[in-house]
């Protein structure tokens, strides 16, 4: 008996950004009112960010996740009832529990399939995609919804200009389907807990009170130094697993955190800048949402087409990192 290998293909993409857009100039004015000095030039030079989107009061990660999910389902020609796995990558869940994925499931009006969250901060979508791929390959799911959704504006310290200018809110989603044609061709995940302290929110809830610091803290220089090295190494790992060269990558979509990190990674792989998908200028660092957001933009504007090879890369708190190589 011949057994056909199962593979995972992306059937549709979607994204969502809150309507409230803050340009650098808007944020500079807001910070100045609190005595914090910065400038559009300072932000652009160091990060490449020109704007970000923030949610309004009462809007949660699940709300953005559902919007992105509906767009992805429409693009895939798929009904919510067809989904048999939901994974949400988020570091800003709606509540302690249940999972944001369970809330998304309810809002989509479906039930019965397994749902759970993945928490790997800015690497979360790459982690979630890898888990979903494994479950589809083993027959545990046929059609999966993988979402990255964040409301980082809720955990920013607006007295710290080194972090509050970097982050935004948003969501991105993909619908994955089992196929006999390869799609996700290689994945690579890593973490190094020795670097927990360089990017964290060192607070928790206990006895009805917040213990520790509930706001984001980051050692930017340490993150930069680690990120460039591990992203290059992970990229080469997934390429070697498939016997491919960097010049065979049509599009590089790294985590949209800092244009300098992204450009440095492309240079190390000797990829021309026109193969780098950049959306960090438009929505800042949206953590686990940034890769699927950028992917959706590049799919919908026609850059990513059938036959293209795309390299997704995440790096974030933990310290976590990883890559996914995909044939479209």
Can you give the pLDDT at residue 248? 97
Give the number of other CB atoms < 10 A from CB of residue 191: 17
Name the nearest CA neighbour of 257 among 217, 222, 224, 304.
Answer: 224
Q: List, for residues 139-189, the tens digit of each pLDDT value.
A: 999 999 999 999 999 999 999 999 999 999 999 999 999 999 999 999 999
Q: List, for residues 297-318, the tens digit of each pLDDT value.
A: 999 999 999 999 999 999 999 9
Please give the structure tokens belonging to residue 252: 């590089």
pLDDT band at 4 (very low <50, low <70, confident <90, very high): confident
Can you give the pLDDT at residue 232? 95
Catalytic residue among 60, 255, 258, 283: 255
Name the nearest CA neighbour of 53 among 28, 22, 74.
Answer: 22
Query: Is 122 an annotated catalytic residue?
Result: yes
- Quick check: 284 and 150 in contact, CB under 8 A? no
Can you give the pLDDT at residue 2? 46
Q: List, for residues 39-69, the tens digit of each pLDDT value.
A: 999 999 999 999 999 999 999 999 999 999 9
Q: How far is CA 136 from CA 102, 108, 187, in A?
A: 20, 21, 14
- Quick check: 198 and 224 in contact, CB under 8 A? no
Measured CA to CA, the distance from residue 93 to residue 201 in angstroms comes to: 13
Measured CA to CA, the distance from residue 252 to residue 254 in angstroms comes to: 6
Measured CA to CA, the distance from residue 242 to residue 59 in angstroms comes to: 42
Output b/e per residue, 76-86; b: 16+ Cβ within 10 A. bebebebbbbb
| Mean pLDDT to the nearest integer, 185-209 | 97
Give the number of other CB atoms < 10 A from CB of residue 303: 15
Which residue ranges form the domains of the chain, and what is each CATH number? 7-179 (3.40.47.10), 184-327 (3.40.47.10)
Answer yes or no: is pLDDT of 1 > 90: no
Query: Is 255 an annotated catalytic residue?
Result: yes
Nearest-10 crossing angle of helices 290-300, 124-137: 70
Residues in the chain: 328
- Quick check: 24 and 44 in contact, CB under 8 A? yes
Q: List, for residues 63-74, the tens digit of each pLDDT value.
A: 999 999 999 999
Please give the structure tokens belonging to residue 112: 């019965």
Tell me how far the alpha carbon of residue 77 is from its chain's centroid. Answer: 23
- Quick check: 134 and 189 in contact, CB under 8 A? no
Q: What is the mean pLDDT of the chain?
A: 96
Q: How far is CA 312 from CA 38, 127, 319, in A?
A: 32, 11, 17
The percentage of residues in the chain with a pLDDT greater than 90, rounded to a whole number, is: 98
Q: List, for residues 260-287, the tens digit of each pLDDT value.
A: 999 999 999 999 999 999 999 999 999 9
Residue 167, SS3 per DSSP: strand
Catalytic residue among 24, 60, 122, 283: 122
Give the number of other CB atoms < 10 A from CB of residue 92: 21
DSSP-assigned letter for residue 304: S
Measured CA to CA, the distance from residue 96 to residue 173 in angstroms comes to: 22
- Quick check: 169 and 153 in contact, CB under 8 A? yes
Can you give the pLDDT at residue 34? 87
Measured CA to CA, the distance from residue 71 to residue 77 in angstroms comes to: 10
């Amino acid at each position: 008996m011949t057994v056909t290998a199962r593979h995972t293909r992306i059937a549709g993409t979607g994204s969502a950004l809150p309507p409230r857009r803050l340009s650098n100039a808007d944020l500079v004015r807001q910070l100045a009112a609190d005595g914090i000095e910065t400038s559009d030039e300072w932000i652009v030079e160091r990060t490449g960010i020109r704007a970000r989107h923030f949610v309004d009061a009462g809007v949660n990660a699940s709300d953005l996740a559902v919007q992105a999910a509906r767009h992805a389902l429409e693009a895939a020609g798929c009904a919510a009832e067809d989904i048999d796995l939901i994974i949400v990558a988020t570091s800003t869940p709606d509540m302690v529990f249940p999972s944001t994925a369970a809330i998304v499931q309810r809002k989509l009006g479906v039930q019965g399939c397994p749902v759970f969250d993945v928490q790997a901060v800015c690497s979360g979508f790459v982690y979630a995609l890898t888990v979903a791929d494994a479950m589809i390959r083993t027959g545990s799911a046929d059609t999966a919804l993988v979402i990255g959704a964040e409301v980082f504006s809720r955990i920013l310290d607006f007295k710290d200009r080194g972090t509050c200018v970097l982050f935004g809110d948003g969501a991105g989603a993909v619908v994955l389907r089992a196929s006999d044609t390869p799609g996700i061709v290689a994945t690579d995940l890593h973490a190094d807990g020795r670097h927990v302290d360089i990017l964290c929110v060192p607070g928790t809830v206990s006895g009805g009170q917040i213990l520790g610091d509930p706001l984001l803290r980051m050692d930017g220089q340490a993150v930069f130094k680690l990120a460039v090295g591990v992203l290059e190494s992970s990229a080469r790992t997934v390429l070697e697993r498939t016997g491919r060269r960097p010049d065979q990558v049509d599009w590089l979509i790294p985590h949209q955190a800092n244009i300098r990190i992204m450009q440095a990674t492309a240079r190390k792989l000797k990829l021309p800048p026109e193969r780098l998908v950049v959306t960090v200028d438009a929505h800042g660092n949206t953590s686990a949402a940034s890769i699927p957001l950028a992917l959706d933009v590049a799919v919908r504007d026609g850059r990513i087409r059938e036959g293209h090879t795309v390299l997704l890369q995440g790096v974030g708190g933990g310290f976590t990192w990883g890559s996914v190589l995909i044939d479209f």
